[in-house]
């Protein structure tokens, strides 16, 4: 079909606007499925999960296949060299957490990233770049435990590894987003020979549309497939990691890998307008903050305020501000610090947090005190480059999984011969007590580096249930913005009755106590609304380019209770996102 010249010109102009403005994203229709659906930031990974569902695997089996495939096709954050959290809902009604967060190596110490001048070390050798930046990876152990204990039993470990192995051995087509993103991070990756060779083609760069084969990673995945998941921690892969670390001054040893343990934890539960919210406990700060915010919001008629009103934005900012103040004060790894979770989630306490709220005036961040009295500041520096995926199967099992290398492409280090990128998760600890991090949050002792400790996180994989049945599976990457992204997606569904695709695509805002400002996605808030917010005393600004114009990546699934239909909603902020269902 040929278009008239004027129409072609208009279409070209629209295409140029969208290409130049990353925060402009067309809403995508949700994928409707009768049986099972997988939603992730990458089409190949979603298809890998769907392949396992079709073979008889359940949501846990499919989630493991999806997570392993992202290692190959989304090295920006997908990994077996990092860690994260898997929230599982079983069709029999059980909810549980697999905590496979990275841990500090035995050689780690409180001041390991502080130089002789008393200041934080920058660049290679810091907590962000190079061989010293990595915590002990947990992804393989976490996936293995989940699949062994909660998988269907109809597919094997070898089955769930196969899609990822095949993608690495046979290759996958490089998307325009991946090609551009690898160039964007060339400075980090180019510092390390193995990473430069694999991810930058020794400076020639991968082009959109080319078939990218990763033979070393394929061999690693084949070893895991043949010898089982412990191979990563005690076999040839472990040796390759430990030898490379020793050669380059890194901290992870064979003993660290062998001694890594996954933690199973009890979920957090809360209520909001007749719905049950099931979410992450510490060492994620996200679940407590999420439940606090919904508890503070419950007395207000949010729908009556109007979706994009200044009144709603003001209320949300004040709720966020108070939850993030408590987050900064009380949270850390519960295996190392006492987290007063029950007190923080007590309904009377939550009600009291809004006692000084005014619909007309913002409370200055400096005036928002921690509600339980002085404890110890713990807020982490946390990078925004994480990834989330959601899975629901035909039986009603569900997985909400968020995992990360921490920063984009982690530490930048690739293990020679293994083809896997390592995390820079040590940067999620408090590297210098009392110093504000890059987000302006004060860091403290509760999140200080201790061998074997897990760093505090904002990752907030979550479920929403009605009458005991799953109606929403969601989560997001985005560092501290994760919590508020998940909060707004859930509110969009419950308060404004939005379908999943609209709830995910809707513009987002963020307030995190310090710095004391509301940030919003480009084109989100109108000038007159901004004026009204400023009149209430709110500081407000558009997200800057270094933050990424858009906020989060909420790969979400909604389930219609009457029909049982599953609606997979890929977030249009990720060009390669896909919902794959049947």
User: HSE (CB half, 13 Å, CA atoms) of 20?
Assistant: 6
Active site residue 563: no
Q: Give, for 40, the enclosing helix (H) or strand (E).
A: strand 37-40
Euclidean distance between CA atoms 416 and 420, whole angstroms: 8
What residues form DSSP beta bridges with 83?
A: 404
Find out whether the peptide bond into 477 is cis, omega within 30 degrees of 0: no
Euclidean distance between CA atoms 394 and 37, whole angstroms = 9
Which pair of tokens denotes residue 184? 């964007």
Q: If DSSP codes are grouped into helix, strand and coil, which group holds residue 519?
A: strand
Report yes or no: 407 and 383 within 8 Å, Cβ to Cβ: yes
445: left (phi over 0), alpha (psi -120 to 50) or beta: alpha
Query: Catalytic pick from 31, 66, 128, 386?
Result: 386
What is the chain's length? Answer: 582
With a CB cutoff of 8 Å and minimum separation 6, the contacts of 39 are 31, 46, 389, 390, 391, 555, 556, 557, 568, 569, 570, 577, 578, 579, 580
Alpha carbons 378 and 376: distance in angstroms, whole number: 6
- Cα–Cα distance for residue pair 135/280, rounded to 1 Å: 21
- Tokens in use for 349? 């306490």
Q: Please identify every residue annotated as catalytic.
A: 386
């Amino acid at each position: 079909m040929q278009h008239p010249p004027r129409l072609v010109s208009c279409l070209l102009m629209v295409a140029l606007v969208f290409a130049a403005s990353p925060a402009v994203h067309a809403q995508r229709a949700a994928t409707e499925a009768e049986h099972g659906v997988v939603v992730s930031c990458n089409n190949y990974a979603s298809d890998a999960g769907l392949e396992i569902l079709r073979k008889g695997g359940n949501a846990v089996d499919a989630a493991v296949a999806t997570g392993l495939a992202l290692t190959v096709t989304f090295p920006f954050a997908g990994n077996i060299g990092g860690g994260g959290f898997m929230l599982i809902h079983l069709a029999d009604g059980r909810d549980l957490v697999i905590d496979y967060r990275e841990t500090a190596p035995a050689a780690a110490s409180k001041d390991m990233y502080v130089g002789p001048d008393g200041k934080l070390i920058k660049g290679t050798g810091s907590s962000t770049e190079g061989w010293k930046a990595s915590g002990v990876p947990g992804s393989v152990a976490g996936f293995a435990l989940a699949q062994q204990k909660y998988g269907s039993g109809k597919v094997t470990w070898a089955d769930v590894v196969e899609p990822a192995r095949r993608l690495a051995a046979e290759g996958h087509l490089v998307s325009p987003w991946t090609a551009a993103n690898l160039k964007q991070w060339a400075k980090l990756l180019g510092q390390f020979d193995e990473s430069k060779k694999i991810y930058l083609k020794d400076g020639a760069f991968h082009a959109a549309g080319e078939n990218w084969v990763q033979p070393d990673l394929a061999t690693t995945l084949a070893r895991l497939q043949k010898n089982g998941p412990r191979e990563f921690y005690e076999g040839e892969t472990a040796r390759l990691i430990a030898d490379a670390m020793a050669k380059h001054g890194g901290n992870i040893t064979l003993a660290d890998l062998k001694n890594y343990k996954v933690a199973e934890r009890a979920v957090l539960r809360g209520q909001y307008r007749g719905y049950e919210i099931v979410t992450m406990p510490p060492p994620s700060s996200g679940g407590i903050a999420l439940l606090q915010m919904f508890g503070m919001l419950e007395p207000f008629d949010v729908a009556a305020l109007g979706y994009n009103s200044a009144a709603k934005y003001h209320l949300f900012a004040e709720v966020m501000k108070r939850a993030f103040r408590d987050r900064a004060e009380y949270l850390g790894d519960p295996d190392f610090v006492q987290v007063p979770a029950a007190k923080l989630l007590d309904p009377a306490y939550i009600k009291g947090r809004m006692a000084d709220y005014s619909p007309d005036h913002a409370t200055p961040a400096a005036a928002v005190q921690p509600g339980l009295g002085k404890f110890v500041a713990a807020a982490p520096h946390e990078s925004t480059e994480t990834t989330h995926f959601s899975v629901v199967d035909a039986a009603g099992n569900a997985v909400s999984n968020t995992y990360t290398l921490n920063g984009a492409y982690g530490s930048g280090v690739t293990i020679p011969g293994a083809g896997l990128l390592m995390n820079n998760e040590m940067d999620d600890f408090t590297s210098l007590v009392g110093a504000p991090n890059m987000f302006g949050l004060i860091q403290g002792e509760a999140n200080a580096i201790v061998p074997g400790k897990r760093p505090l996180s904002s990752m907030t994989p979550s479920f929403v249930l009605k009458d005991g049945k799953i109606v929403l599976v969601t989560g997001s990457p985005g560092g501290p913005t994760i919590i508020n992204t998940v909060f707004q997606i859930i509110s969009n569904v419950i308060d404004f009755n939005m379908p999943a695709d609209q709830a995910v695509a809707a513009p987002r805002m963020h307030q995190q106590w310090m710095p004391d400002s509301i940030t919003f996605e480009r084109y989100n808030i109108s000038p007159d609304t901004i004026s009204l917010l400023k009149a209430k005393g709110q500081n407000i600004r558009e997200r800057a380019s270094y933050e990424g114009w858009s906020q989060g990546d909420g790969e979400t699934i909604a389930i219609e209770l009457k029909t049982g239909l599953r609606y997979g909603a890929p977030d249009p902020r990720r060009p390669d996102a896909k919902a794959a269902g049947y």
